[in-house]
Structures are given as C-alpha cells and as structure tokens.
Amino acid sequence: MPAYRIQSLFIATIAICSLVNSAGAGGIEAVKGKRYALSKQHGPWMIMVATISEPTEGMKVEGKTPEIAADELVFELRQVGIPAYSFSRDEATGQIQTQDRRGRETNKKYKLDKEICVVAGNYEDIEPSTKSGKTAQETLLYVKKLKPACLTEGGIYRETPGQPGPLSGAFLTVNPMLTPEEVQARKRNPELLQINAGMEFSLFDNKGDFSLVIATFKGKSVTKQGDKDLESAFSKLTGQASVDVAYWDAWKTCNALRARGVEAWVFHDRYQSYVTVGSFTQERDPRAFEFAKAFGAKYSNNPATGQQNLIAEQQTIQDQNGNPKMILFDPEPHMMRVPKYR
C-alpha cells in the first residue's frame, strides 16, 4: 500500500504499480524515472491533474513516496502524448476569513500539507473559440476519463458517485509558477501576431524567457493640445510610412547583427520596433550583462573640452532606398520578457 494520498478535488487512497518504459506519443518525451519539473516556460494555462500528499501520522504505511508516485503518473500521461510535469507545494499555514452559522465573520486557521502536484498541457488560453482553448477543453475531458494503470491496477480505488475515475476531478488552471502579471503578459494578442507574422528572426521564435533590448525604433506621433486642429500636424508626418521605416530599420539592424554572428531578434508593436539579443532563462543572466556592456553607450574623452561624453554604439545599415544609414543603439540596454503568444 502506498505511503501517500492522491487528490483531484476529491480524495482517495491509491496503490502504485510498476510501469514499463516506452517513448511517448506525439513526440512527447517519456522516460521512466526522469523527473519532468514544471517551470515558468510552460503554460500559461494547464490542467491540474491531481495532487499527491503525505498521509497523516496514523495512516502512514510502507510504500512509494509522493514524489515517485507523481513521477510515475507524469510518465504515464506522457506515454499517451500529454506533456505532464510535477511541482511541489510546501507546507503552509495561515488564516482565512469566513462566517459562522449566524453570519458572523470570523478568522479560521488553515494548514496546507506539503503536496506534489501533477499538471499537464501548455495552452495559450482556454476559450473554446480558439484553437488552443479547444485543445485544452478536449484534453481535459480526455484526462478526466483516464484510469492510469499506476493508480488503478492493484490499488484500492473505489468508484464513487460523482467521481467515476481517479482523475475525474481534474480542472483547468493557470501555471502556478506564474504571477498574475506574468500570465497577463503572455496573453495572446492577435494584432501583434499579425504584425510580426512570417518575419525572419522574429522574437516570437526565441525559445528563452528574456531577451536584451539594444535598439528601439519609434514611429512619429503627435499630441492634440486644446482645440488646435490636428490636420496641419498630421500633414507634416508620413503617417504609416514612419512606422514602416521603423520596422525596416529594425529588421535591417537585426540582419546586420546576425551577419556579425550575434543572436539578434526583432519585434514590432503598433508604434515602434525593437532589436534584442540573446535568449535567457532568467532576468539577471550574466551573459546579458556582457551584451549590455558591448552594446551600451560608453564614455569617451572629448579632445576639444577634455571632458568625458557618453557615446552610443553604432551600426551601419542600408535604408529602404539602398543608401547607407547610421543606427544608434540604446544607451542603456534593458531586458524584456519574450512574448509567448504562439
């Protein structure tokens, strides 16, 4: 009998049997004994498959640990082509505000035991009207009906009303490793997808979590003040052409850097374009500091005054007419999160 308990909205005690190693379906890696840990790179929407926790002192028996049980469940999900992962929620205590039978507010203490959670899928959203959301909803229904051998064969799981299977309590949730701000930042933006569609070296294709912005190209803009007519102001601008110039300059700069052997990327939004370098898993990656040092502005002595001036790094490209054009890199490069809209 196992030394853990499994929960999927409901709680049941399950026995774990051995699994046979095999390759996963649909190109999903499935290696027996390998731990597939959840990270911020996954999601942002996922399926909470089950949580496995230590039993109370009086229920402890010999058997596999929650960690091993979770690994086996992850392995079996991957065998059928579902990317699954595990992560640990440590024991925690706190207070929650609630009401008694008479409607009086009161604070109650709660305790969360250490749990190993099994999650699955990597979905951009959960709206059935989108391709990703439809896949998420269909996969959830499939998972609910699964009866993995590791949870049923040789176990004492009993079918109960409202819980026909060990995973019938699975539900959709956000990646628990992400903050609300990070989830919001990774929401699909159809307009940005369209602007960047089919572009070579698009930042959308960057596999990292962060990239370093070294050059910013802005389209022209105007601001209305009081009752002044904007007609004359707009006539002085090239309108969409100014944004197109920014797009072109960013793309040409990216290509010039690639020709120098630099891992450069380009990203466009409605008003400006960016050139970034590098692919990083953390915001304070030491390699990013090296890039920032190389492309950031540097102090140089002015022979005429004897003073030090901050001089931006430069790159020569060709403009839309084939003429040489000098591009200035941003004085202070900064990190940006790689968009994960695909």
Q: Is the pLDDT reported for residue 301 higher than 70? A: yes
The yes-or-no verdict on residue 226 having pLDDT over 50 is: no
Q: What is the mean pLDDT of the chain?
A: 76
- What pLDDT, on the 0 to 100 scale, is given for residue 225? 41
Distance CA(298)–CA(291), nearest Å, equals 13
For residues 295 and 329, the answer to whether their CB atoms sit within 8 Å is: yes
Residue 87 predicted with pLDDT over 50: yes
Query: Does the predicted model carry a pTM greater than 0.85?
Result: no
pLDDT band at 203 (very low <50, low <70, confident <90, very high): very high
Query: Which among 160, 75, 81 has a CA at the least distance from the CA of 118?
Result: 75
- The rounded radius of gyration (Å) of the Cα atoms in the chain is 27
Give dist(CA 27, CA 327) in Å, integer.
43
Q: pLDDT band at residue 212, thresholds of 50, 70 and 90? A: very high
Could you tell me the pLDDT band of residue 21, with boundaries at 50, 70 and 90?
very low
Average pLDDT over residues 226-239: 40
pLDDT for 142 beyond 90: yes
Q: What share of the chain is helix, strand, coil (3-state, %, to 5)?
A: 25, 30, 45
Tell me the three state secondary structure of residue 130.
coil
pLDDT at res. 154: 53
Is 322 a residue whose pLDDT tops 50?
yes
Neighbours of 235 (CB within 10 A): 8
Highest averaged pLDDT of the listed ranges 101-105, 184-188, 260-264 = 260-264
